Every structure is written in C-alpha cells, then in structure tokens.
Structure 1
C-alpha cells in the first residue's frame, strides 16, 4: 500500500514510516523540520528512513498548500496519516499562534487535499488532552471532551470537529486517534522520560510537577505504531460499527479512537522505574502543578481492542529500558 505521512522526522512519524517500509509499503514523508527541538535528532531520524528505496521525503510546512497538494497528488496514496503538528502542552502557553498555523490551518489543508484526491482512509493524530480534567475514569471516546485546558488541546479538538464536517460533507472515511503519553527510543527531548534521563546522567535535578501526585497512561511507541497500522485497515463504515461503545458518527464515516493501554502509572512510580533502570537515584525537585496540566490520564482501550483485536501491552520496565539503552548509544549524536 501507499502511505502519505506528515511528520516523518518527528518521533511517532519516524517509527510509523520505518515499520511500514520494513513491511514493504511505499511511504512519502512530509515534514517542516522546524526548530521546536533538536534538528540533529530530526535529521538522524530522516537519515534512517532515507535508507529505504521506497521512501521519499518532501520538506515543507503544512501551511504551504501548493507544496503539500503537489506531494499528495503526485503520489496518490491509499492512506494519509496526519501526524505533523505543533506539539507540547506548555509551549502552547508561550506561542499559541504556532498551534493555530499548524494544527488548524495545516490540518484544514490536509482535509481539503484528502477530499480532492478521494483518499481511502484519512487518519488524524489527536490527543488525550482533549479530555481535559475529565472526572470519569477510564476516559472513554464517548465522554464529553468540550473543556480543553490548553490551546494545544483546543486546537486538536477543533481539528476533530472540522474533520467530522468533512467526513459528513464529502464522505472521506476518517479516524481521529487520541494518543496517551507516548514514549520510547527516538523520543522528543521535551518529554519527561528524555528530560529525566538526561538530567540524571548530568547529575542534575529532575523537576517533578504536581508534587508527584499525577498519573499518566504511558504508551510504548511500538505498541502505538502497531495500533495505527491496525486501524489503517479499518476505515470507518457501518460494516464495522461496534455496538454500544463506538464513536462512529451517524452523519458520516468518522470515528475517534483512544490509543492507550488503560494502565496508568503514578509519576513517582515512573521515576522509580527510571532509577532502577539506570542504577542510580534521581535528585528530585518537587514543584506545584503547572498551568494546563491535568491530574491524570487513563485510556479505555475497549474500542481499539474491538476494532483491531489488540491493545498496547508493553510494560513500563521494558519500555524505559529500551529508551535508556537507545539514549546511551546515541547521546553524542543528538545532544
């Protein structure tokens, strides 16, 4: 199959593209190579994908409609996976316009192009942040998600709503999948695991927000990629509606799906796993909850399991160990 993926120099896009290429698919990657974090890391990911003859890379911003349109139409993909976005919850407090440009205008360009080419399945990366401070656990796709706590979350929920309208108007089968704290090798430097490991190796304090009382539903990257690929084969339609728990719209081929295992871990327990893996204690600096943070995330994986037959299962010990080993091997190349 032919996959067009935005964000292939990013953490998740790199892993997804590499797995698809290893499995014999064709991939065109599109990425803006922005300086939100280390370009050396993005370039190293890109170099890994460039080794595959069935991979082609196009550098450009999502807001560049003509370039994006030419890249998609010249490839005629079976599936579009839109992962590129301005990421980061806290950064959205500093530079909200970056989220407006990428996550709204850029995503609208993707919707328009998907409509024009009549793609078989449009897949959009959303986030567990859309649930805000949802009091009910686990978070189910049928829960209300109309009270985002950050502009990042608001931009992702807005993308979902725009996509629903396009699915209704133009019948483009669309799946919006909501990530839950993804981690693993080649991860982003602004994520907790990367920051904690780097600080501990440098004998610096790690900053623990919310006095360590928060919990997160951590999802290992390989599990996430498997889930995305599994879902790519299940374009929303009445033929695969799941009774009682489905979010398949009555108005068009649109569905939201959680990508999480439903196994939340407390932040202090997470840190203990890192300490055990690294064989040294962390110097801890306790800080209050940051603006926009939520106390917990907790995915219900029931819909994902019903649609694909599996859900994320990798244990935290295994996943953290894989990240630490990767970081130790590549540190000199990416710091």
Structure 2
C-alpha cells in the first residue's frame, strides 16, 4: 500500500502577490492580461471567486462581474523562483516528487521513515515549512494513490489537509460524483449522465467489458477509478506528452496573409521547444480562437510524412475555410510528442 501526498498551493500567483503587497489582502485580486490586450485571467483569489471569476475567463468579462477587481500582470520569473524553493522543500522529504505545475505536485512518501512513517504527519510538516519559508499556505491530500490524494486536497481548501486511509476508501468513493474522477471531462460527464450515472456507486454497476465498449481504453481506467483504485506511479522525471505555442493578438487578424506570417513566427518557437525537450512530434494540430472566444482546432496524424511549416499552413487553410474566413484573435500550434527512440519523422524547418 503506497502513501501519496498531493500538495496544492492556494491561489498561487495571487497569493504570492498578496504576500509581497499586504494591502491586497481582503480585496478581489486576479492575475492575467489586461482587457486592453484582450487578455484572460490566469488565476484569482477567493474573494474574486465570490463574484464568479475563474481562471481562463476573459478579462473584459471579469471586470463586468467585479468592477472593483485589482488586476495584476503575470510575473512568471517570480512565481518560478518561489515554486523552485517549494520543490526543494519537497525533496528534503522524498526524491519521488512529480510536479504537475508550478503550484502542485505529487509526493510518494511510502518509504519515508520520519514522523513514524505517517504520511499525514509528513504532509503537515511540509505545509508548515512552506508557510515558514515562503509565507504561503498550501492544501494537501493524503491517500494510498494519486487519484484519491488529488481529490482529497480539494476538500479542505484553502490551507487545509484531508486524509483518506485505506480502510475508508470504499465509504469515501461510494457517493463521490464521477466528475471528480481523473480524466472525466465535460464530454465524458455528459455521456455518463445520459447513462444515468452521476455517482461512483452507479458506475460500479457496470463491468469492465461494458465500460470499454462505451469509452474505449478509458473504460479500463473508469472501472478502477470508480472503485478508488489507481495504479499510476509518482514519476520523478516526466517528459511532456504535448508541446504547444500560442499567441493572442492585440487586434484581430482579418487577413489570411497576416495569419500565415504569424504561423511562421509560432513555428520557429515550436521547433525550439521540441528540440529543448529532445523529442519528436507525432500528431500535429492547429487551433484558433475567434472574436467571440469560440475555439476551433484541427489536427492530423501521418506516420510517414515529413512535417514542415507548410503542413501547418495547410491545416490552417482548412480551418480558415471552415470558419468562413472570420477574424481571428488567437493562433496556436500543437504537437503530441514521443521519445527519440520512437521511429517518427522529425519536424523540418
């Protein structure tokens, strides 16, 4: 039986700014791009969330909901430095640390002998050290696997801790909404709902064969997850499965040639990121966001084709025709990647 901790810094970017400027405490604060630059929110504090604000919300919409919102620009170097400081705290307890982002990570403390090998006591100590060294609060979930640990860390947010001991798994999972399960997005949730499934005990009524028929390979995971089972290990070193570059433009791109020029710029950035990760691309896609914030994406897989900038232009042309050549506010290039051992044709400049 493993002992897994999921640590999640509370409203990380905004909390960092509050710590640096205490006059912000008690006021609605968000981090993101200004409405003049047609930006979106990266995160916001809990006071701002009372107004209905959330990450990825357009800034213009956020200001309408919360006129007294304090909007601050993203200061990524500052956030990365503090995130690295917190990671060093994790590594003093265990080398098995899997960062998910700047503000959350999994830790496997199964073999840690400190604190009587109690994962709950270890999580408490980690949270105390984060607070004493950075002034920030963090929430934690403790459980026998990654699935339950992440769910648990949300239960007593902010600045909370929740433990799911092995003997309580079945009771905990029984009435858990299926939307809490890893990998269940809006589409899967709606499909489950159409089957009369909203809670895990209802999903448990289906055998593995039936779930695979309905959901493909993900059916295997659903069968395990709704029973509180998760075989995924904490991976200390993990290569990204996908790489993306995208850009939101101050003014809509109305002309086809202007879009093509931006694809060329984005492609050069994409190549650098792929080379940095020493990986090769398998699946290529292009995405665009329209003025009304609709997002459209088109992708292709070709195992035997040499990829180039021209391929992204072809993908864009297809997508551009499908939207009837409407103005575009964002363009993104996306690839799924594999290791250098995969027999794939690399991207060509």
TM-score band, normalised by the shorter chain?
A: under 0.3
Higher RCO structure, 1 or 2 (CA under 8 Å, sep 6+): 1
Give the alignment's TM-score, normalised by structure 1. 0.27
Give the alignment's TM-score, normalised by structure 2. 0.26
Higher strand share: 2
